[in-house]
Structure 1
């Protein structure tokens, strides 16, 4: 692939699921799309949340398109919330596989005072509101929680049971742990003082009777020893380890980037992030340190790698620990990481301007000339330069937008919401306003021809013509 720096921006086409984006006017979605490695014990979910936990493919298909950007300061920008000084790029557009939930007749989850339920493709309630939380596990199966009880249901609300996880597991006897095979037969006697992380990708972390910590295989063979305070299961060849420190917490990780400790990428969402003060590092399957926790700051792992800050300089390393973007005086605040496209926007501390890099090889694809940059998918980009806000495409500038306008990424229908003052417009790919919501306090992106819209404090669904399909009746509606 040939990439020209300077005024050429390369964008890979992007199909983004609507529920993965924050709504217009600063509404915070309760829906989070998170890749969860499901080996080991069942994860506990927060009350009042709906999640999708489907595993996604790591295979990337690139469709590179050149978008010409003007060299003169005649372009504009998109206003997004300013994040903490130590934040990972303001939002992370996570890679996700195509959800199969629509094939089971489900289009959205809704919440009222009784809890969460499900809506079908026509917007009718097919599972009444009842559950404190709900997560889609794939293959038409939903994990639901009521109080402290976790169970499973199908798309029509019937009780169901998940398939048993294959592979070895642990049992406890007389205060120690041993290994069982996938049929429940004992493989080892109770040998281990503690199980530190369950089997994942054929390796588990344990503490041995002599106090050492390390990784073992399903037969109990010790593969390596390592030093850490805590560790998570392997995901895609990497395991996150942590060490304790007494220091000020710089921020909070807004949502579970990687399903908690041990995540290593492949999540399916866009999340606002900030560095959380955790002294983390990453081990490969041989127990070798590929990202050292002794660096000043190590950020959560993505599919492409992670940011590492040391001695005041910030760089990006790949999943082998090799620098892709060499350390420099970069600021993550106001930036964004697009995992599907393999792009990131950063701010140059000295110039105070935004630029963009390709994560595959660290090539800079936009110079540090812009006040703001936002990739919108569907071969579209919104940027700010010289005080003007511009929507641009493959052939150049499409239209200038009102200063400070907020625009969401395009959905698969080729529609995007534009907020202009107190008005919310639906734009097509050519920047044409198709309709303006007659009433609406917030809107979320379209999915399968429907979009959640908030009016008078309640959420409903509108179609691609702006007509109510489901009147605003709910505390929340999230597309699935």
Structure 2
């Protein structure tokens, strides 16, 4: 009986810690809804940011602090600005300086750095004498500054530049691919793509394998295939650098659920891993399939199809923000963890897989749902594969 009680208690704790909330704007005020469509925190803030690790930065009378998922102030609003928590640490602007704080609001003494950088995957950059290294959330140096640049970590790996050559490190600062390449991709199953001088290829087990005729290679995502360009057309290669789908397409996006969006001329359809069209090219745009088996497709507006090509949600929505300044922090498209953010008649809401709108509510703004775990586990892979290589640069705080 005791073991059963402990198991049920653990399940309850896991449920509480894994709830998801979305920031929404209604009547010019910001609040947070849960996935049942009800307000967990009523709209009351002029400015706020999404939850991260159980806390959300919100503004109160021009100052920023942090609330928990009940709307209770955990860290008083005394800062000029505030960033999200990651790895148990957030950057805030105290008076005129940016500093690190923990979840109790205590300022953390970090090693000297010419700039202050956000934590990600349990580490943050430090820069000394124009060289970049790493610290962990305990403010200990993990990697002495030695690289000219480190790109943001993805799934525990980061691209590093040294003397205009690129390699790969992990969060321990260990060099997995030596900086010997003119250009390099993400690290996926101990493999990456790279460019050596003018030759594109695959790096595996320390060996560079040229890919015949490749003019460009994109990142590997959720499957063992990625797309590459040859003679101006795009096809797919495998982890060994073999062409497995002939480059005949004008545009493509990543494989997911063994289906990939491809464009011939101006029309998009979906092929399988044998290059057979499962869904004929009839759409003006198309995105990758989510894990629930639905993909966004566009005629004049966006709707959703299933893996057989059946239109299950009519093409009547928008899925991205237009304009010079993006409306959203995250622009991921399609179904993510069971809901899809869409636009209808100038308002934003969340679709369920059956096509109904979550709680039948529309908002002036709606950020993606974010998990509210109250632990220090860094975020890693996202659910949806991307269409191209990310090139995020570090910004001064």
TM-score computed with the length of structure 1 as normaliser: 0.46
Contact 2:238 2:244 (8 Å CA) reproduced:
no
Which runs of 5 or more residues in structure 1 are unaligned? 1-136, 170-174, 178-183, 246-278
**Residues 226, 459 of structure 1: alpha-carbon distance in 2 compared, 3 angstrom cutoff:** same
Corresponding residue for residue 143 of structure 1: 23
**Residues 149, 235 of structure 1: alpha-carbon distance in 2 compared, 3 angstrom cutoff:** same
Question: Which residue, out of 160, 164, 170, partners 1:308?
Answer: 160
Corresponding residue for residue 5 of structure 1: none
Corresponding residue for residue 231 of structure 1: 116
The reply on whether 1:403 has 2:267 as its aligned counterpart is no
Matches within 5 A, 1:52-71: none
For residues 221 and 54 of structure 2, the distance between their equivalents in structure 1, rounded to whole angstroms, comes to: 40
Corresponding residue for residue 169 of structure 2: 317
Question: How far did residue 305 of structure 1 move?
Answer: 3.1
Corresponding residue for residue 37 of structure 1: none
**Residues 450, 186 of structure 1: alpha-carbon distance in 2 compared, 3 angstrom cutoff:** closer
For residues 282 and 464 of structure 1, the distance between their equivalents in structure 2, rounded to whole angstroms, comes to: 43
For residues 160 and 242 of structure 2, the distance between their equivalents in structure 1, rounded to whole angstroms, comes to: 35
Per-residue CA distance 1:335-357 (angstroms, 9 max, x = gap)? x4255x453211111xx111223
Instruction: Number of aligned residue pairs: give it.
Output: 288
Corresponding residue for residue 259 of structure 2: 415
Contact 1:330 1:348 (8 Å CA) reproduced:
yes
Per-residue CA distance 1:63-114 (angstroms, 9 max, x = gap)? xxxxxxxxxxxxxxxxxxxxxxxxxxxxxxxxxxxxxxxxxxxxxxxxxxxx
The reply on whether 1:479 has 2:334 as its aligned counterpart is yes
The reply on whether 1:158 has 2:11 as its aligned counterpart is no
**Residues 234, 395 of structure 1: alpha-carbon distance in 2 compared, 3 angstrom cutoff:** closer
For residues 227 and 395 of structure 1, the distance between their equivalents in structure 2, rounded to whole angstroms, comes to: 42
The reply on whether 1:427 has 2:282 as its aligned counterpart is no
Corresponding residue for residue 283 of structure 2: 440
For residues 212 and 444 of structure 1, the distance between their equivalents in structure 2, rounded to whole angstroms, comes to: 42
Matches within 5 A, 1:39-438: 139-146=19-26, 149-161=29-41, 225-232=110-117, 234-241=119-126, 281-291=133-143, 295-332=147-184, 336-337=185-186, 341-349=189-197, 352-358=198-204, 363-364=206-207, 366-367=209-210, 369-371=212-214, 372-374=216-218, 375=220, 377-383=222-228, 391=236, 401=246, 403-412=248-257, 414-437=258-281
Which runs of 5 or more residues in structure 2 are unaligned? 1-16, 43-50, 58-62, 66-71, 321-332, 336-397
For residues 276 and 23 of structure 2, the distance between their equivalents in structure 1, rounded to whole angstroms, comes to: 41
Per-residue CA distance 1:409-460 (angstroms, 9 max, x = gap)? 2222x222221223323212322122314x42111122333322111x3212
Question: How far did residue 386 of structure 1 move?
Answer: 7.5
**Residues 440, 434 of structure 1: alpha-carbon distance in 2 compared, 3 angstrom cutoff:** same
3-state secondary structure, aligned to 1:446: coil
Contact 2:230 2:247 (8 Å CA) reproduced:
no
For residues 235 and 93 of structure 2, the distance between their equivalents in structure 1, rounded to whole angstroms, comes to: 56
**Residues 285, 158 of structure 1: alpha-carbon distance in 2 compared, 3 angstrom cutoff:** closer
For residues 185 and 476 of structure 1, the distance between their equivalents in structure 2, rounded to whole angstroms, comes to: 33
Question: How far did residue 230 of structure 1 move?
Answer: 4.6
For residues 326 and 164 of structure 1, the distance between their equivalents in structure 2, rounded to whole angstroms, comes to: 34
Question: Which residue, out of 283, 287, 310, partners 1:467?
Answer: 310
3-state secondary structure, aligned to 1:411: coil
For residues 85 and 239 of structure 2, the distance between their equivalents in structure 1, rounded to whole angstroms, comes to: 47
- The alignment yields a C-alpha RMSD, in angstroms, of 5.3
